[in-house]
Amino acid sequence: MPRPSLFQEAVISDIALILRAAEFAAHRHRKQRRKGRSKRPYIGHCIEVARLVAEVGGVVDANVLAAALLHDTVEDTKTSRDEIRQEFGAAVDELVQEVTDDKSLDKEERKELQVTHAPHLSPGAKVIKLADKISNVQEIGTDVPKGWDVERREKYFVWAKRVVDAIGPINPELEQRFASTLEESSRLLAKKAAKG
């Protein structure tokens, strides 16, 4: 078999990085479920965020796609920043850290910091954050978390829009997808509220 060209080697390296990130995230999130009534495996959210970044956002940077897969590992599992850096390199680690909340702070403070930090994120972190909000708004609209009444969902939608607005223009396709997802989820919520 002929030796791969430099371009082919680079493509293989990028694919391997993304697949390693998917495998790592699946392992770290293996016991977690989403909050929705369906209790789908958490890894589905990570994959959806990466898919949105690639498919809707048109992003092909392997570091951004790997970070999208890993975006909740430090925040929601026992994964350390050093592990991400060792396994995936500094570029992926920095992106993951940009989108990771500080769990030592209370929830309201973390939410407010997402809004104030959003304009200062790198472009890669902005598209990950935007895709994350799309995924969350869609899930809250269609697979309501147990115990989330109409008011709590409305508050989440308002906050998610504040984060996305603070991100500013970065990727028209993802921005449009967020707007349409928010509109549809809000419509479903209004319908639910009208039924009582």
Rounded Cα gap, residues 111 and 102, in angstroms: 10
Rounded Cα gap, residues 37 and 143, in angstroms: 6
Which residue of the set 76, 87, 143, 184 is catalytic?
Answer: 76
83 classed as catalytic: no
CA dihedral sign, ordered 168, 121, 77, 159: negative
Q: Hey, what are 69's tokens? A: 């897969």
75 classed as catalytic: yes
* Cα→Cα distances 137→18, 119, 140, 143, 164, Å: 25, 20, 5, 10, 12
Which residue of the set 14, 61, 75, 94 is catalytic?
Answer: 75
Residues classed as catalytic? 75-76
